[in-house]
């Protein structure tokens, strides 16, 4: 919950970069929709109720565990640029902005 709130609070700063970002939660689409509405998030929350993607990315150990708060930075070529395994849920949005800057991710070109 705190991580999604932090992402929402930092949304304007994240959207300065030429990136797409989302959360992925090991729950159903309906539960994610309810969760997103409750928090008023302004980014997609993907559902992974089978935990297939979460297992593939190594963020859960088995069908019973919750996904660990890990941030993957994936380049335009599909290659992973960085994996942050020490995400602070309350500062996640700020940390993303800092990491995008450190990685030299391009900023969006303002529309005229």
Query: What is the CATH classification number for the domain harbouring 11?
Result: 3.40.30.10
pLDDT in tens, 51-70: 999 999 889 877 667 788 89
Residue whose C-alpha is closest to residue 68's, from 55, 82, 50? 55
Residue 107 lies in a domain: no
Distance CA 15, CA 10 (A): 9
Confidence of residue 12 (pLDDT cuts 50, 70, 90): very high
What whole-number percentage of the chain has pLDDT above 90? 71
Range of the domain at 57: 2-102
Q: How far is CA 107 from CA 11, 44, 79, in A?
A: 14, 20, 19
Residue 92 lies in a domain: yes
Residue 111 lies in a domain: no
In the chain, what are the helix, strand and coil shares in percent, each to the nearest 5?
A: 40, 15, 45
Residue 112 lies in a domain: no
pLDDT in tens, 33-51: 999 999 999 999 999 999 9
- Number of independent structural domains in the chain: 1
Q: What pTM was estimated for this model as a whole?
A: 0.86
């Amino acid at each position: 919950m705190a991580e999604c709130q932090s992402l929402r609070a930092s949304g304007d700063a994240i959207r300065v970069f030429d990136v797409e970002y989302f959360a992925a939660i090991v729950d159903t689409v309906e539960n994610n929709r309810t969760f997103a509405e409750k928090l008023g998030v302004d980014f997609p929350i993907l559902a992974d109720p089978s935990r297939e993607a979460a297992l593939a990315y190594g963020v859960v150990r088995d069908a019973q565990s919750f996904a660990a708060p890990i941030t993957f930075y994936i380049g335009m070529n599909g290659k992973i640029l960085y994996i942050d395994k020490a995400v602070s849920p309350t500062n996640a949005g700020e940390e993303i902005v800092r990491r995008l800057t450190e990685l030299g991710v391009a900023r969006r070109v303002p529309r005229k």
